[in-house]
Amino acid sequence: MRPISLSLVLLATLALNAAAQAAGTPDDAIRVNQVGYLPDAPKVAVVCALAPRAIDQFEVVNAEGKRVLGPKAAKEAGKFGPCAQTYRLDFSELREPGSYRLHAGTLESPPVRVGPGVWNGLADMPLRYMRQQRSGFNPVYNTTVHTKDGIIVDHPTRAGEFVPATGGWADASDYLQYVTTSATAAFQLMQAYRDNPKAFGDEHQANGLPGANGIPDVLDEARHGLAWLLRMYPDDSLMLNQLGDDRDHMFFDLPPNDSADYGWGKGGARPLYPCTGIPQGLLRYQNRATGYASTAGKFAAAFALGAQMFRDRERAFADTLRRKALSAFALGEK
């Protein structure tokens, strides 16, 4: 066999590189709104090329592969983030409902939906995550988790006392729970419904399992958060701020199998930190508290809006929320 010369290898390499650039790298893409577009709304897709390449025009095809728009000129839009070159593909004149794809050079977009109902149900999508994060009964696992919460720590007179605090939502991707984030989440859920009630549906029960119950799912979820917040403010003399600490990070269990040990056995009770007005926590991660006002204000805001939202649905619950809102507000003013 005759040896291959270096010049032939170089020529082959250059040819392959040129072909690859012409075809685009595997990561070049046409980015679209994957939810879809309303018929009369502006519609612009963006080509992201990781290496410079020429895109002069594009076309739109329907689900059968028939061209329905174009060729149209692509508009060069410069660099953006990791994209060495971008192009804007404006197909706003396409108004007929249906499923489409854009073609630009060798690139093809994911399916693009156009229609009057493409945004229906979007407001409820974040609730899937909220249900997944539930403590207490978790509908994703169809079981109850963290049932032994919790035991007060870092308190001058009530350390070691058990206070029932099951419920609420796990924070981020671990199992710690905070009043600050939970009160904010509950408030924003209710605020979203108050301002846009027609955007939300009813496909789940109060416990998060499938099945309508006559109450918008967003209010079911907000109520789950409010119930936990009430447990975190059991009386006027005790405002709790945090459940669990970063000992949680020592294990990587699913919620039903959480084996973290806070000193009361694996999978046992978790610590409840009261508001003290100074930083708290264990090991590396601590909060940055300098007083009560921030936490008390979030309690008060969530309870006050909850009292309004549930006044005509659950009067006794709403009355409790109103009373707690006033109490938390007064504490925050001190």
Q: pLDDT in tens for each of the 334 residues of the chain?
A: 333 333 333 333 333 333 333 344 567 999 999 999 999 999 999 999 999 999 999 999 999 999 999 999 999 999 999 999 999 999 999 999 999 999 999 999 999 999 999 999 999 999 999 999 999 999 999 999 999 999 999 999 999 999 999 999 998 778 899 999 999 999 999 999 999 999 999 999 999 999 999 999 999 999 999 999 999 999 999 999 999 988 877 777 788 888 888 889 888 899 999 998 878 777 677 777 777 889 999 999 999 999 999 999 999 999 999 999 999 999 998 8
Within the chain, all domains assigned CATH 1.50.10.10 are found at: 122-333
Tell me the CATH architecture of domain 122-333. Answer: Alpha/alpha barrel (1.50)
pLDDT recorded at residue 16 = 34
Within the chain, all domains assigned CATH 2.60.40.10 are found at: 6-114
Specify the CATH number of the domain 6-114: 2.60.40.10
Taking each helix axis from N to C end, the angle separating 179-195 and 293-309, rounded to the nearest 10 degrees, works out to 30
pLDDT recorded at residue 191 = 98
pLDDT recorded at residue 312 = 96
Asked if 128 and 121 count as a contact pair (C-beta separation under 8 A), the reply is no
pLDDT recorded at residue 25 = 55
Kindly report the pTM of this predicted structure: 0.79
